[in-house]
Structure formats: structure tokens, C-alpha cells
């Protein structure tokens, strides 16, 4: 059953503010402040909450987001109940876009790219805000292999490359773990230029360096390839056996002979 929409005149200033953030109307923002000058402070007192900045960032309203961030800068680093910051939400919304119309998809991606850049231009430290499991925006773009944003984030906030998750993983650990080759190249290039190659020897909570993870991933991929090759070979043998079974001589010999070879053939699959 659809939730009945509350008439605007019956909404609290906070409810109207959230609706205004969803619509991206700056005039509406100031109307809410006129009605309740403490409306932003009231939201800020809640430890974990979807602020109007979270709402605006998710909806792609860059101007509204910048305006409310200017009025209340602390919103930019506040986490919602899912442990995500406004920048986290903008990044995820951009990544999750899926439209059949390529032109519309491109426009929306540019829209969210704009708000992401405006957020970090306002405060570069937003790249280092630790959300759920101490995942930062830099960790997220490394995980997704978004090399353009990865390079922009590193240029804007070089120190962010040192940040770790609760599993003691750096952005490089995460890129290697997810087999994001191009992201690894960007990160390694950055480490070389910044003469910070000692990060290559840093260990996660399991004592793994990025080299250990890379070797482990290679071994897993090799095992997968071997198993796939074995399955293809098994399928080929089955097809050949089925073909021979369909011939009269082969069918007669199977009907009158031992069946252990067929049984083992079935079990081999």
C-alpha cells in the first residue's frame, strides 16, 4: 500500500526541508529556515542521520548541496545510518546508474561527476572521511577501478593513500584484491612519484602485502582456468561417448557388457 503523502501545510519544517533537498530548491531551503531557524542544528545533533546534504547529493543537486554545506559544513562529514557520507552516496549513485539510453546515461554520469568534484573542491578532506568499515571514498574508487576519479582524488588529497580500512587495507590492497589493473597502475605510479614505495610492504590484518595478494589472486585464477579446462575436456568426452552410444554396435556392447565405464563417466562430471 502506497504511503499517503502529507500535505505541505501539515509537514514539520524538517520534513519540508527534506522534500526541498530532494527537489534541489534553494528558495525552499530558506523558507524552511525562516519557519525554524534551528532546523539545521536540530538535524546536526543526531549522531547518524540522512541530512539534507545526503539527500541532495543522492539526487545530484550540486548547487543545493553547496549552499547547505556552506551553511552547515559539518553535514559534509556526517554519516547516515548506513555509515555513508554525502560523498559516498554521490559516488555510489554515479556507479549504479543504469539506463538504456546512452545519451541520458552520459548526462546523468556527468551530473554526479560534477557534484563529486564540487564536494571535494569545497573540502578536500572529504576524500578521507571514514565510513562503514573505515572505507573512504578513495577506497571505493579503487575498488571500482575508476581511474579518473582515483587520479583526481590523489591529486586533491595525497595523504588519502595512507588511509586504511578496519582490515588494515590501503587503496592499493583493495585495487589488487579486486584485480583492478588500471587502478593499480595509477596507484603505483603515484607511489613512485611521491617516493612512498614503502607502502608496498605494508600489511593488512592477515599479514598480506600487496605482492602476497597479487600472487594469491594469480594462483586462484590459474586454478579456475585449469578447472574450466578440465570441465571443457569432460564435456568433450561426454559428447564423444554419447555420439558413440548412438551407434548400433556401441549400444549393443553397452547393453551386454559391464557398465562400470559409464558409471565412472557420469561420476567424472
Domain segments of the chain: what residues? 1-122, 124-208, 211-269
Nearest to 152 by CA among 136, 163, 141, 166: 141
Tell me the C-alpha distance between 169 and 154, whole Å: 17
Tell me the C-alpha distance between 227 and 117, whole Å: 44
Report in angstroms the alpha-carbon separations of 227 from 220, 221, 241: 11, 10, 21
Which phi and psi angles does 151 have, rounded to 5°? -65, -40
Sign, CA dihedral 228-232-238-242, equals positive
Can you give the pLDDT at residue 230? 61
Fold entry, domain 1-122: 1.25.40
Can you give the pLDDT at residue 252? 40
Q: What is the value of pTM for the model shown? A: 0.77
Tell me the C-alpha distance between 132 and 139, whole Å: 11
Burial 49-72 (b: 16+ CB within 10 A, else e): ebbbbbbbbbbbbbebbbbbbeeb
Can you give the pLDDT at residue 195? 73
User: Does 73 have pLDDT greater than 80?
Assistant: yes
Burial environment of residue 95 by CB neighbours within 10 A (0 to 12, 13 to 18, 19 or more): middle
User: Does 176 have pLDDT greater than 70?
Assistant: yes
Burial 166-201 (b: 16+ CB within 10 A, else e): eeebbbbbbbbbeebeebbebbbebbeeeeeeebee
The C-alpha angle with vertex 192 and arms to 216 and 199, in degrees rounded to 5, equals 50
The separation between CA 246 and the C-alpha centre of its own chain, rounded to angstroms, equals 52
User: Does 3 have pLDDT greater than 50?
Assistant: no
Fold match, 1-122 / 124-208: yes
Neighbours of 104 (CB within 10 A): 11
If pLDDT is split at 50, 70 and 90, which confidence band does 233 have?
low
CATH architecture of 124-208: Alpha Horseshoe (1.25)
Can you give the pLDDT at residue 80? 97
Can you give the pLDDT at residue 105? 86
Query: What number of helices (H) and strands (E) belong to the chain?
Result: 14, 0
Tell me the C-alpha distance between 135 and 132, whole Å: 6
Amino acid at each position: 500500500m502506497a504511503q499517503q503523502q502529507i500535505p505541505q501545510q501539515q509537514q514539520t519544517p524538517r520534513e519540508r526541508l527534506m522534500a526541498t533537498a530532494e527537489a534541489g530548491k534553494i528558495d525552499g531551503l530558506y523558507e524552511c529556515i525562516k519557519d525554524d531557524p534551528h532546523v539545521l542544528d536540530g538535524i546536526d545533533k543526531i549522531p547518524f542521520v540522512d541530512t539534507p546534504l545526503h539527500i541532495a547529493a543522492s539526487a545530484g543537486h550540486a548547487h543545493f548541496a553547496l549552499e547547505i554545506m556552506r551553511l552547515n559544513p559539518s553535514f559534509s562529514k556526517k554519516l547516515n545510518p548506513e555509515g555513508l557520507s554525502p560523498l559516498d552516496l554521490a559516488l555510489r549513485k554515479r556507479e549504479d546508474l543504469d539506463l538504456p539510453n546512452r545519451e541520458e546515461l552520459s548526462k546523468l554520469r556527468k551530473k554526479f561527476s560534477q557534484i563529486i568534484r564540487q564536494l571535494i573542491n569545497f573540502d578536500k578532506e572529504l576524500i578521507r572521511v571514514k565510513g562503514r568499515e573505515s572505507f573512504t571514498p578513495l577506497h571505493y574508487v579503487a575498488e571500482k577501478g575508476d581511474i579518473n576519479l582515483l587520479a583526481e582524488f590523489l591529486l586533491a588529497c595525497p595523504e588519502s593513500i595512507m588511509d586504511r580500512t578496519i582490515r588494515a587495507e590501503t587503496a592499493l590492497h583493495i585495487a589488487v584484491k579486486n584485480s583492478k589493473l588500471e587502478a593499480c597502475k595509477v596507484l603505483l605510479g603515484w607511489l613512485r612519484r611521491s617516493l612512498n614505495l614503502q607502502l608496498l610492504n605494508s600489511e593488512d590484518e592477515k599479514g598480506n602485502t600487496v605482492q602476497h595478494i597479487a600472487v594469491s589472486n594469480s594462483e586462484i585464477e590459474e586454478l579456475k582456468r585449469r578447472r574450466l579446462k578440465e570441465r571443457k575436456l569432460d564435456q568433450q568426452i561426454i559428447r564423444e561417448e554419447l555420439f558413440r552410444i548412438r551407434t548400433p554396435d556401441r549400444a549393443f556392447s553397452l547393453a551386454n557388457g559391464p557398465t562400470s565405464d559409464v558409471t565412472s563417466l557420469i561420476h567424472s562430471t
